[in-house]
Amino acid sequence: MDDASTTDGFTLIKMRNIDKTYRRGAEEVHVLHGLDLDVRRSEFTAFMGPSGSGKTTLLNLVGGLDTPSAGSIQVDGIDITRLKGAHLTSWRAHHVGFVFQSYNLIPIFTAFQNVELPLLLSGLSRAQRRAHVESALELVGLRDRMRHYPRQLSGGQEQRVAIARSIVTDPPILLCDEPTGDLDRSSADDIIHLLQRLVSERGKTVLLVTHDQLAADHAHTVLHLDKGVLLRTPAGATAA
C-alpha cells in the first residue's frame, strides 16, 4: 500500500479529485466536488465556510472515518482509501487524533482515565501508560487536575483534556472540529495557542474546522469551503 513516490517529503496529506455523495432516500446530496488538497507536514490549516459546506466531511475523510465516492487520499504515501477493517482502525489509531466541539469525555472517568483510553489496547504496561498520560496532561497544563472529573473542570479545561487524549499516542495529525465552539473568548484563545504550540514545538499537522475568524487567523493557511469547493484565502484575511 505504501507509495512514497507520490509524496515530495514535505506533503503529508494529498487528496485528489475527491467527490462525496450521500443518499437520502431517493435523493443524492453532493457534498464535495472534485476536491484537491495538499497539506504539508507541521502545517496549521483552517477550514471555514457555512454549515453544510462539507468541512466536517473533509475531516472525516482525512481521518478514515468516511470514504470518498471518488478520488484518492494519501497520507504519508499510504492510500488510506484502500485500507479496510482492522488495517484502517490500526492506521487511524497511530496516525490521527480527533478533537471535537463537545469534548466527548466520559463523565464517570477522571481526566487521567479519559486520556488513558486510547492506550488501553496498545500493549503498553500500566507504568508506561501512566508515563504517557502524565506527559500529555503536563503538555496541556493539567497534570494537577488528573484526578478531577469532567464536572469539576471548566469548559476550557475539558477541551484541554480532550486534546491530551488526542495526542497521548503521539499521532502526526490532529483533526479539530470546532474545538472552540462552546468556549468563551479567553478559553478559545488558550486552545488555539495550545494547537499552535503543538505545531511549532511537536511538529503536529493540524486541520481545524471553525466558524471563528479569530481562531482561523492563527493558522498558516485558511481555506474556505463553498458548496463542496475549496477556495484559498490568506491567513488573517476574512473568508468571504
What is the domain-level CATH number for residue 15?
3.40.50.300
Helix (H) or strand (E) holding 96: strand 96-100
| Cα→Cα distances 89→81, 156, 160, 209, 210, Å | 12, 29, 24, 23, 26
Burial of 168 (0-12, 13-18, 19+ CB in 10 A): buried
pLDDT at 231: 82
Contacts of range 83-88, beta carbons closer than 8 Å, 24 or more positions apart: 83/1, 88/64
Residue 239 lies in a domain: no
238 occurs within a structural domain: no
| Residue 240 pLDDT > 60 | no
Dmax over CA atoms of the chain, in Å, equals 54
Query: Are 20 and 66 contacting, i.e. CB atoms less than 8 angstroms apart?
Result: yes
> What's the pLDDT at 26?
84
Q: Is the pTM of this model over 0.85?
A: yes
Residue 84 in any domain: the answer is: yes
Number of C-beta neighbours around residue 131 at 10 A: 12
User: Would 129 be classed as within a structural domain?
Assistant: yes
Q: What is the pLDDT of residue 186?
A: 96
For residues 51-61, average pLDDT: 94
In Å, how far are 200, 219, 228 from 45, measured between CA atoms?
Answer: 13, 6, 17
Is residue 79's pLDDT more than 70?
Answer: yes
Q: What is the pLDDT of residues 181-209, one digit of tens each?
A: 999 999 999 999 999 999 999 999 999 99
Residue 74, domain extent: 4-233
Indicate the number of domains in the chain: 1
